[in-house]
Structure 1
Amino acid sequence: MPTNASSSKLLTLETLDISAAHIYPTFVFGTITYLTIVFCNLLVLITIAVSKKLHKPMFILLFNLPISDMVGATAFFPHLMFSIVTQSRLISHPACITQAFLIHVYGTGNLLILSAMAYDRYIAICYPLRYNTIMNPNNLIRIIFLIWFINLSLIFTLIMLNARFKICRTNIVDLYCNNPSLLKLTCEDTRVNNYYGIAIIVLLQGVPLSIITYTYAQIFHTCVMTNQPDARRKAIQTCGTHLVVFLILQINTTFTLIAHRIANVSPNIRRTLGVSVIVFPPFLDPIIYGLKITELKQNIILFLKRNFCSIKL
């Protein structure tokens, strides 16, 4: 845990460089973006929860993605909006550690959830006769428990290894708190943290990428070989949606992590990539899934119509 000296310090996040004339338009835009993210993700969550037709392994796994997205967005946007209005980039050390923890939980959670969803589609398309046996309720609960246990335990260890240090600097080099920027505040030996961080990067970037690559190669092979055009089209449409969402997160995350470890990378590029990891997936995920997965889209429309009609009455 942080020392008393560290806990009492206020840290300074990277400046936003917003002129006085643009403060309130930026605040309004940021607030609308955050509320849109929360609304769209809650809509997906509630629709899956209340629609019995969606109580299937694929959608139960998908149910976890909006939760993770809202964790990331909520860790980032409220403090950002507060900073814009007050023109203050100060944050306490415990609050910074909490923000870093939640943001890393969001990123890791998304990668693991998307990997589990890819596995689910692999079983459904390549082994349809065994799908109900393999993806039975007990196994589904085990998969979801494993996702969150691995996520929380790895990130908790990562942040606690960081929080044990006494800090000697107060300037965060990013627009929000994360593990690499927190490590740069200490003057102590961080080799253990660096080794653990590299191991996590290899594990959490490599394993999901391997799962996605293998499962989608098998899925597309099966789709090419099938003689049922409708089944092929539906499978490619659903898997294409997962693949787009995964690639958006994977590419952004990979470049952001690499940028932190290369000294001559432009700080502005690193910050832009870092923000894009938090803003784009939570904003795009519910829209992509809501529009591209027909069954989910139909139930969202039905849910909105039913509740809109009840409000009018």
Structure 2
Amino acid sequence: MELFNSALGKNITFVRPAYFIISGFIGIPNVNGFMGIPHIKYYYIFLFFVYIVSVVGNATVMAMICFDHNLRSPKYIAVFNLVFVDLFGNTALVPKVLDIFLFNNNRIAYNDCLTFLFFCYTCLCMQSFNLVALAYDRLVAIIFPLHYSVKVTHRFMFSMIAFFWAFAIFAVLISVGLLTRLSICDSVVINSYFCDHGQLYRLACNDHFPNYVVSCLYPVIIFWAPLVFILLSYVYIGCTLAKVANVQQGLKAFKTCIGHLLLVAIYFIPLLITFTLMEKIRPNARIINLSLTSVFPPMLNPIIYVLQTQEIKESLKRLLKISGRAKQTVTKIVIT
């Protein structure tokens, strides 16, 4: 980060506050509800339960992929990375949000705020890029089934995921580095539920045009470009399957894409609504929408994969059978 500052000149002094205040919802009265708990805090208690379900679900899918040798195809490298990012991203976001709003610790140190932003945005980027990797896997599997084992290898999938991680980390580091050159002297109140990049750079009293450019450019790279690629890949898949003489085979092939399409819809639609109607949405509605978008896909992803992916359903059945046999064995030993 010193590189950004040194490029601007050695004599420039930046005003950096000791802490920021994360305000959360704006203008909502702190009215007590059941058992003296303010009504708005029920929302954060709800987020806590969503987080618990997310941790259990993602950890279960990760364990199945690790221990079941039948789930070792290149596709499951991307699936494992997706559930890891979901688990890591929710763990980076939700506990801190709960600490801020349930326990009224809404002050966050300057460096902690930038670190918080880095992890949240990196995971947000990786969720989008993971959907691209899974879309590519489905595209090759359906369009070039005979060449799938050659085109989508373990090495290729590892390389693609590693590239996405490197790109996401580099992109977010640039945005964090640009924030360090800002003088925060107008206010220290962030009108969001976490250290939001857009809300942070608007607090600056010096030139924040580079941050504005980044805030306009990154959604195109991180959201629009992946979404366009995914949509075009499914248009291509649909056109190809329409030419298949056997309708039943076409439907069977398309059925393998349902899980991925649900993930894409759950992840992209709320974000597109929020960013498209940003000026028309009230601040509190925007905070609710973005916070739910952050925590709901990580909770639903493992459920969707368990219900829609035949290999994972078979793996779960085997896991439950082994668990049931182990309990029966223990019971027999105790009775004996």
Q: Same fold (TM over 0.5)?
A: yes
Q: Does 1:296 align with 2:306?
A: no
**1:83-131 Cα shifts (integer Å, max 9, x gaps):** 3442332222222222221221122111111011101110010001111
Contact 2:90/2:298 (8 A) holds in 1: yes
Residue matched to 2:74? 57
- The structure-2 alpha-carbon separation of the partners of 1:7 and 1:234, relative to structure 1 and needing over 3 Å to count, comes to farther
Please say if 1:6 is aligned against 2:19. Answer: no
1:55 Cα offset (Å): 0.6
CA distance 1:203–1:80, change in 2 (3 Å) = closer
Which residue of the partner structure matches residue 220 of structure 2?
202
Partner of 2:293: 277
Change (3 A) 1:54 1:227: farther
> Structure 1 residues 6-15 or 293-302, which shifts more?
6-15
Distance 1:10 1:218 in 2: 48
* Secondary structure in 2 matching 1:223: helix
Range moving further from structure 2, 119-128 or 290-299: 290-299
Shift of 1:232: 2.7
For normalisation by structure 2, the TM-score amounts to 0.84
User: Could you say which residue in structure 1 is the equivalent of 2:153?
Assistant: 136
Decide which structure has the larger Cα Rg and report it.
Answer: 2
For structure 2, list consecutive stretches of 5 or more residues without a partner in the other structure: 3-12, 331-336
Aligned length: 311
Is it true that 1:176 corresponds to 2:194 in the alignment? yes
The structure-2 alpha-carbon separation of the partners of 1:231 and 1:156, relative to structure 1 and needing over 3 Å to count, comes to: farther
Q: 3-state SS of the aligned residue for 1:174?
A: coil
What is the CA distance between 1:307 and its match in structure 2?
A: 3.8
Q: How far has the Cα of 1:148 moved from its partner?
A: 0.8
Q: Answer whether contact 1:15 1:89 (CA < 8 A) is retained.
A: no
Q: Is the 2:21–2:107 contact (alpha carbons within 8 Å) kept by the matching residues of 1? A: yes
1:223 positional shift = 2.4
Alignment pair present for 1:226 and 2:252: no
Distance 1:258 1:98, change over 3 A: farther
Change (3 A) 1:19 1:45: farther
Tell me if structure 1 keeps the 8 A contact 2:122–2:172: yes
C-alpha separation between the residues in 1 aligned to 2:105 and 2:281? Answer: 27
- Stretch deviating more after TM superposition (82-91 or 114-123): 82-91
Deviations 1:124-173 (A, max 9, x none): 10001111111122212211111111111111111221133232221111
Letter in 2 for 1:183: Y
**Distance across 2 between alignment mates of 1:308 and 1:185:** 57
Alignment of 1:151-162 (within 5 A): 151-162=168-179
Residue type of the alignment partner of 1:171 = V
Partner residue, 2:116 = 99
Q: 1:268 — aligned with what?
A: 284
Deviation at 1:295, TM superposition (A): 1.3
Aligned letter for 2:243?
M
Cα separation, 1, equivalents of 2:71 and 2:17: 46
Q: How does 1:12-27 map to 2 (within 5 A)?
A: 12-15=22-25, 19-20=31-32, 21-22=36-37
Q: Given that residues 43 and 300 in structure 1 are in contact (C-alpha distance below 8 angstroms), is that contact kept between their aligned partners in structure 2?
A: no
Summarize the Cα distance change of 1:309–1:29 in structure 2 as closer, same or farther, 3 Å threshold.
farther
Contact 1:259 1:270 in 2 (8 A): no
| Structure 1: segments with no counterpart, 5+ residues | none
Contact 1:165 1:188 in 2 (8 A): yes
Please give the alpha-carbon distance, in whole angstroms, between the structure 2 residues aligned to 1:28 and 1:270.
Answer: 19
Q: What is aligned with 2:333?
A: none
- The question of whether the paired residues in 1 share the 8 Å contact of 2:78 and 2:133 is answered with yes
**In structure 1, C-alpha distance between the alignment counterparts of 2:221 and 2:101, rounded to whole Å:** 36
Q: Check conservation: 1:71, 1:103, Cα contact below 8 A.
A: no
Deviations along 1:190-247, one digit per CA (max 9) or x if unpaired, are 1111112212211222221221122111212222333455543332222122112112
264-273 or 44-53: bigger deviation? 264-273
Distance 1:25 1:88 in 2: 17
Secondary structure of residue in 1 paired with 2:21: strand
Counterparts of 2:272 and 2:116 in 1: how far apart (Å)? 20
CA contact (8 A) 1:11 1:170 kept: yes
- Cα distance in 1 for partners of 2:254, 2:91 equals 33
Q: Which amino acid aligns with 1:178?
A: D
Alignment partners' CA distance in 2, 1:311 and 1:29: 34
What amino acid is the match of 2:173? Answer: F
Q: 1:27 to 1:180 in 2, by over 3 A?
A: closer
Matched, 1:287 2:326: no
RMSD: 2.4
